[in-house]
Amino acid sequence: MPASASYTDVHRAFLQAVSQHGTVSAKQAYKILLSEYGKYHNDETVPTEDDVPDAVALINSKLHRFDKKIVFVHYEPTNADFYCFCPQAETAVDRLQNYYSKPELSLFRLMLKELACSEGHKVRPIVCLNLTAEITGKTITKVRAEELLDEWEKLGYFVQMDEMWYFGPKTVAEFDRYLSAHFAEHMHKCLLCNEMDFYGVKCAKCPETLHKECLKKYLRRLTNCPGCQQPWAVSVFN
Ligand SMILES: [Zn+2]
Ligand SMILES: [Zn+2]
């Protein structure tokens, strides 16, 4: 794509695809861009993977006035990159009211709380299903809870790995402010970038955890833990 790309049908279609999916991996994002480009152009200048961030930046400049944004997320548990379609409003949970009933939203909030307060921000599936018992008033069945968890996983809100549920890339992108407002004492900020650190690398000598990517940059220049100032002892270059 030409460097001076203007907003075209390709961007419009790319945005539509990403907003429908909620969350796409960086690889998927490139595939979408490529296939949309193929529909509208038949010249030789095929986009490369490096064109994805530029296309996203251009789309975001248009989305700005709608309080929406495509957010890039480096997801630490799998070391993979994602793009998430996110509202920028403070009340991200309330926005979900358009799609879910009150007890379903309660389950969503309880999931956020449970993950925020759990060691390592991961929870066993049985614990998640038992959250239905904590919904006040009219509740939902465990079968429905399972369906919802599946749906929320597809949208990127939660991820199931190794028999545990984790915060997904979309929650990392969309609910960082909500989580720090409600569960400040359980959520942790990376000392190096001051952004919330969900699944960082823990220092071997103190309780500090830091983003792996931030640590990699930091350890090129310095060798001590930014928390306890002892020599950093955990490998991050693998
Ligand atoms: Zn960081
Ligand atoms: Zn330390």
pLDDT tens by residue, the chain, 238 residues: 544 568 889 999 999 999 999 999 999 999 999 999 988 887 778 899 999 999 999 999 998 888 889 999 999 999 999 999 988 765 667 777 778 999 999 999 999 999 999 999 999 999 999 999 999 999 999 999 999 999 999 999 999 999 999 999 999 998 988 999 999 999 999 999 999 999 999 999 999 999 999 999 999 999 999 999 999 999 887 6
**How many structural domains is the chain composed of?**
3
Are 140 and 81 in the same domain?
no
Q: Which ligand is in closest contact with the Cα of 210?
A: 1
Are 105 and 169 in the same domain?
yes
Residue at 188 is within a domain: no
Are 24 and 45 in the same domain?
yes
pLDDT value at position 125?
A: 96
Side chain identity, residue 73: V
Are 147 and 80 in the same domain?
no
Are 103 and 151 in the same domain?
yes
CA of 237 to the centre of ligand 1 (A): 16
Q: Which ligand is in closest contact with the Cα of 213?
A: 1
CA of 130 to the centre of ligand 2 (A): 36
pLDDT value at position 52?
A: 95
Domain CATH number, residue 148:
1.10.10.10
Structural domain boundaries enclosing 59 = 9-87
pLDDT value at position 3?
A: 44
CA of 194 to the centre of ligand 1 (A): 6
Are 134 and 82 in the same domain?
no
CA of 214 to the centre of ligand 1 (A): 5
Domain CATH number, residue 30:
3.90.1150.220
Are 134 and 163 in the same domain?
yes
pLDDT value at position 90?
A: 56
CA of 103 to the centre of ligand 1 (A): 35
Domain finish residue from 62, 87, 112: 87
Q: Could you tell me which residues are beta bridge partners of residue 16? A: none
CA of 78 to the centre of ligand 1 (A): 16
pLDDT value at position 45?
A: 80
Span 202-223, pLDDT tens digits: 999 999 999 999 999 999 999 9
